[in-house]
Amino acid sequence: MTSPTRPLSNKVVLVTGASRGLGKGIALQLGEAGCTVYITGRTLDPTDAPRRPGSLRATAEEINARGGKAVPVQCDHSKDEDIARVFEMIASDEGRLDLLVNNAYSAVNALVTGFGKPFWEIPETMWDEVNNVGLRNHYICSAKAAQIMTKKKSGLIVNVSSLGGKVYLFTPAYGIGKVACDRMAADCGLELKSHNVAFVSLWPGAVKTELIMQGAEARKSGKVEAPTGETAKIGANAHIFEAFGNGESPEFSGKCIVALMQDKGLMEKTGKVLTTAALGKEFGLKDIDGRTIEEQT
């Protein structure tokens, strides 16, 4: 049974990359709405590593405390066999999957390190660091989720993307990957529509995640060299970290996804790029600090 305070209490969801950051924020809001929340990531137990804060078990404890049911599953999303195991577990244990949030991403530290450098001066490995887990994995997870959802004729898949799909951010490999995530939602959504399964691409604004804020602090303290001269003028990079300081919380995207799960007009949105600011306006949502999130340009 659902209730006004637990409107999604009969839903089974999977949020990938939920040890920290956006994934954690999304998972917390889904737990608060009453979902059974499967969460994946590489870090199962808490560590002392300052560059990798958070863990699946810590996220799970917070989800449970908010009234949800958390199922932490250690998964390296660069390994196909790990991905397959997660979906086999959900199909076996639950027999359904109502929501997949493709959020797993392993390139934040690489993006901070390569900040301000032109693409030809960055090691070619940047492509795989950005677009293996951040793109290829999303496609594989979506296919696995669709196999479950189409049988039930119901479901929602969300690719966490960004404004980088429209304007230059960080490095070309980043933008190319985000455009592809958006196109994935459009094309896969087209094929899934007749099965009553929706697929959207979600653009949060600048989000104050743990790793981004660590990177901003490192740049401020001089531990990471700031770009100068012409390099500093590349796209929006000269001010990107400053924007994150005034950004939205990781939980605001979760509020938007909870609203989407209850949207009777959801199928009209399938295949589209949706911004958190626009969804916040449509559904009357506030961030956890009470702020209204404005559209970024």
Residues annotated as catalytic are 174
162-167 long-range contacts, Cβ below 8 Å, gap at least 24?
A: 162/203, 162/204, 163/203, 163/205, 163/296, 165/201, 165/203, 165/273, 167/235, 167/236
CA distance 29 to 273: 21
Mapped onto helix, strand or coil, the DSSP state of residue 29 is helix
Q: In 3-107, which ranges are continuous DSSP H helix?
A: 21-32, 56-65, 80-93
Q: Which residues contact 205 (CB under 8 A, 6 or more apart)?
A: 163, 247, 248, 275, 276, 277, 293, 295, 296
CA distance 55 to 188: 31
Element containing residue 279 per DSSP (H, E): helix 276-283
Residue 192 tokens read as: 């899934």
Mapped onto helix, strand or coil, the DSSP state of residue 196 is coil
Q: Hunting for tokens 């949060």 — which residue is that? A: 204
Strand partners of residue 203: 275
